[in-house]
């Protein structure tokens, strides 16, 4: 098993990368605790041209500054004042494309994940939805800007691939205010996986 290389993130097709992130393993090594999960749901956000993106129209603030970082950077923002949302920055520096990790299937450190989330036992809610992904992996806003080829947050490739029949494609979740861009088929998920946060058939 190897880390996902920088060249994977540096490509200019954020939608294709979002689809190809399915099956990759996201790992956190924070405060001596290692947790991981297989990515089973993602959403692409196409930078300044995408009305659903934080950087639409070139918007640039302290909150979204890491979207403009080099490919392979973790962009983490807080949603509803509580949920820590993990995104993967792609393309080139100053081009703010990013992919939201919406759901993972837990692999390593499940007891740690349960402790972080306050859950008693493993079920589909542990890592279902981007807020739960961040919570279970121990990710917070202050981790935004970390490089995904370093040792704190990184992605692994164990050659898990899904066929076209196994991958679902839909509009994104919760971006209705983006008008016609809300209908773009930028959400990808593993069909039938119980950890997927929205429609999964």
* Of 6, 8, 7, 39, nearest in space to 22 by CA: 39
Q: Answer for the pair 43, 99: CB distance below 8 angstroms, yes or no.
A: yes
Higher pLDDT, 90 or 198: 90
* The predicted structure's pLDDT at residue 201: 79
Nearest alpha-carbon partner for 27 in 92, 86, 96? 86
CA angle 62, 181, 169 (to 5 degrees): 105
Q: How far is residue 18 from each of residues 1, 81, 82, measured CA to CA in Å?
A: 20, 26, 25
pTM for the whole structure: 0.96
What confidence tier does 183 reach under pLDDT thresholds 50, 70, 90? Answer: very high
Residue 18 has pLDDT above 80, yes or no: yes
Query: What rounded mean pLDDT belongs to the chain?
Result: 96
pLDDT tens per residue across span 134-170: 999 999 999 999 999 999 999 999 999 999 999 999 9
| pLDDT score at 82 | 83
Q: Has residue 80 got a pLDDT over 80? A: no
**Is residue 92's pLDDT more than 80?**
yes
Residue closest to 35 by CA, chosen among 170, 158, 156, 174: 156
| pLDDT at residue 26 in the model | 98
Distance between CA 61 and CA 92 in Å, rounded? Answer: 18
pLDDT of residue 198: 84
- State how far Cα 158 lies from the chain centre: 18
Phi, psi of 139 (to 5 degrees): -90, 140
Model confidence over 102-117: pLDDT tens digits? 999 999 999 999 999 9
Note the pLDDT of residue 123.
96
Instruction: Please classify residue 159 by burial: count the beta carbons closer than 10 Å to its beta carbon, then call 0-12 exposed, 13-18 middle and 19+ buried.
Output: exposed
């Amino acid at each position: 098993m190897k880390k996902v290389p920088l060249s994977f993130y540096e490509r200019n097709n954020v939608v294709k990368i979002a689809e190809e992130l399915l099956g990759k393993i996201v790992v956190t090594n924070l405060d001596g605790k290692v947790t991981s999960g297989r990515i089973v749901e993602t959403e692409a956000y196409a930078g300044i041209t995408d009305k659903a993106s934080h950087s639409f129209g070139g918007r640039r603030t302290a909150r979204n500054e890491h979207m403009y970082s080099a490919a392979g950077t973790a962009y983490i923002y807080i949603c509803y004042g509580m949920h820590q949302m993990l995104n993967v920055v792609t393309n080139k520096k100053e081009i703010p494309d990013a992919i939201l990790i919406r759901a993972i299937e837990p692999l390593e450190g499940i007891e740690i994940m349960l402790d972080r989330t306050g859950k008693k036992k493993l079920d589909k809610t542990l890592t279902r939805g981007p807020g739960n992904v961040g919570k279970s992996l121990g990710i917070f806003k202050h981790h935004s800007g970390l490089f995904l080829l370093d040792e704190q947050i990184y992605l692994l490739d164990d050659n898990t691939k899904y066929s076209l029949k196994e991958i679902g494609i839909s509009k994104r979740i919760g971006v209705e205010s983006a008008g016609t861009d809300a209908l773009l088929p930028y959400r990808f998920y593993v069909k039938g996986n119980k950890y997927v946060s929205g429609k999964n058939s």
